[in-house]
Amino acid sequence: MKTDKNIQDIDALGDDHVGTSTDTPLRSDAFKLSSDEKIDIIKEDVRHILETLGLDLTDDSLKGTPLRVAKMFVNEVFGGLNPKKKPNASTFENKYKYGEMLVEKNITLYSTCEHHLLPIVGRAHVAYISNGTVVGLSKMNRIVDYYAKRPQVQERLTIQIVKELQQVLGTEDVACVIDAKHLCVNSRGIRDIESSTVTAEFGGAFKKQETRREFLDYIKLDTQF
């Protein structure tokens, strides 16, 4: 049975946005059910929530909502939970011998806060220094999108993007900065419309002040880390 203390702890954890792991906490049986089976179950769950709130689901405007939300959860906003949707990581030889930093900036980011299931909207900036292998530019956007399409905390998302690119490119020299608005902060709770959250992960050479500064100068984000 939940005590008031437990409920207070749950509220505090959510509003403080404390994450507990760099891996998304998935159960081992996460994909025993097919996507269609999940949609069928979630559809009924959404119907139950709306009915509990007192809404009339025979209303023309509402009757399709449970199915619509279930499909959106499974196929779109949480589609990045499914490892089958992970972008194919084709890499190329660095024929130009370009040895400087490559920055893909202002990647549009739509994710979902795992504490409140409300949107996180922002921009990701990703950089790497090639050790002989390069990756297609759009692949960087796709990797950001894949990890964003999960219930997330921004710190974990930032780390997951860096780890994936490090693995794909075979180098530690990868960095990511995310600047995002959390609707759970902007539209409820503390209701601070203006605030945004910046997170950063710097691997390998990006741990050096000079390299990090170069990256931050490129993205014109003059934040002290």
Could you confirm whether 176 is annotated as catalytic?
Answer: no
Identified catalytic residue from 104, 115, 125, 164: 115
**How many angstroms separate the Cα of 110 from the Cα of each of 22, 76, 181?**
19, 11, 10
DSSP secondary structure string for all residues of 153-208:
-HHHHHHHHHHHHHHHHT-S-EEEEEEEEEHHHHSSTT--SS--EEEEEE-GGGGS
Could you confirm whether 154 is annotated as catalytic?
Answer: yes
Q: Which is nearer to Zn ion, 178 or 184 (CB)?
A: 184
Could you confirm whether 113 is annotated as catalytic?
Answer: yes
Could you confirm whether 115 is annotated as catalytic?
Answer: yes
> Shortest distance, CB of residue 29 to Zn ion, whole angstroms?
26
Could you confirm whether 48 is annotated as catalytic?
Answer: no
Identified catalytic residue from 104, 152, 160, 182: 182
- CA-to-CA distance for 38 and 78, rounded, in angstroms? 12
Q: Which is nearer to Zn ion, 143 or 153 (CB)?
A: 153
> Shortest distance, CB of residue 25 to Zn ion, whole angstroms?
16
Q: Which is nearer to Zn ion, 80 or 151 (CB)?
A: 151
DSSP secondary structure string for all residues of 66-121:
HHHHHHIIIIIITGGGSGGGSPP--EEE-TT---SEEEEEEEEEEEEETTT--EEE
Q: Which is nearer to Zn ion, 113 or 159 (CB)?
A: 113
Could you confirm whether 116 is annotated as catalytic?
Answer: yes
Tokens of 160: 């997951």
> Shortest distance, CB of residue 116 to Zn ion, whole angstroms?
4
Catalog residues that contact Zn ion under the rule CB under 5 A: 113, 115-116, 184
What amino acid positions are annotated as catalytic residues?
113-116, 154, 182, 184
